[in-house]
A = this chain, B = another copy of it.
Amino acid sequence: MPDRTYSISDLASEFGVTTRTIRFYEEKGLVHPRREGQKRLYSAADRVRIKLILRGKRIGMSLQESVEVIDLYDPEHNNEEQLHSLISTVREKRERLLQQKKDIDDMLAGLDEVQSLCEQALQDKPASPTTRNRQRR
């Protein structure tokens, strides 16, 4: 059923955000759900847009920037000039993402180090002082 629709609270609970958040995205023009009377009806495409926006948020993108990335997909680019500028936009986005990956890898390496230091410290004193005291008395 590719034409399934979603209520606002469907999506809110699915994505772990409030309905206020989703309405806010609409205020900002990030999504345009249909209306059934008063109620908002979200299509599968709307759902994907929100999902992609939240993905962008997780890696520190602003809402506007996420939309910018999402809009790279729909072909509004007809002439050669637009295609070239699109390609260079893609290149810039990609460079930033690669930098972010590097930042993440660096941070992961730091966490590994912290963890092994921790585990070593736990090895060096296998019995805690409290345990020792309890045993002696």
Contact = CB atoms under 8 A, between A and B. Distances in A.
B60 A107 contact: no
Nearest to A115: B90
A115 to B, nearest CB: 5
B103 A90 contact: no
Rank and list the top 3 A-B pairs by shortest CB-CB distance, nearest first.
A60-B60, A80-B128, A72-B114
Identical subunits present = 2
Give the size range of A's interface with the partner: 35 or more
User: From DSSP, what is the main secondary structure of chain A's interface residues?
Assistant: helix
Contact of A83 (B60, B106, B121): B121
Contacts of A60: 57-61
A59 B96 CA distance: 10
B90 A118 contact: yes
Contacts of A45: none
